[in-house]
Amino acid sequence: MSLNSAKTQYMILATPYKHRVLENKDDSLVLSINGSSIEIVTHQKSLDVYIDNTLSGNIHCNKKCSKINSKIALFKQIAISYC
């Protein structure tokens, strides 16, 4: 069994400072499988948990808060329509 390079992604876990240092370098890390390059990502969703490349949890909190706020707004509209 081989990896599907179109569906494969990678993430570099490091501190925000280390990411800035890596971004400023001219030679960027490029991974490839059988000649096709693999996409680098800054965050990934796995089992309904968002993991970012600094492991800070900010993206996960923002996504969950946004989802909760939309549900609260829906409840408010329902409550107004019954009053």
Handedness of CA 52, 62, 23, 17 (dihedral sign): negative
Residues spanned by the domain of 49: 9-82
High-pLDDT (> 90) share of the chain, %? 29
Q: Using one digit for the tens of pLDDT, what is the confidence trace for 47-61?
A: 989 999 999 889 999
In-domain check, residue 45: yes
Q: Does residue 55 form part of some domain?
A: yes
Question: Please, what is the Cα angle at 15 between 12 and 32, to 5 degrees?
Answer: 10
Single-letter residue type at 22: L
Q: Which residue has the tokens 């970012």?
A: 52
| Residue scoring higher pLDDT (25 or 20) | 20
User: Using CA atoms, how far apart are residues 12 and 54, in angstroms rounded to an integer?
Assistant: 8
β-pairing verdict for 9-10 and 43-46: unpaired
Structurally, how many domains does the chain consist of? Answer: 1
pLDDT at 66: 95
pLDDT for res 26: 64
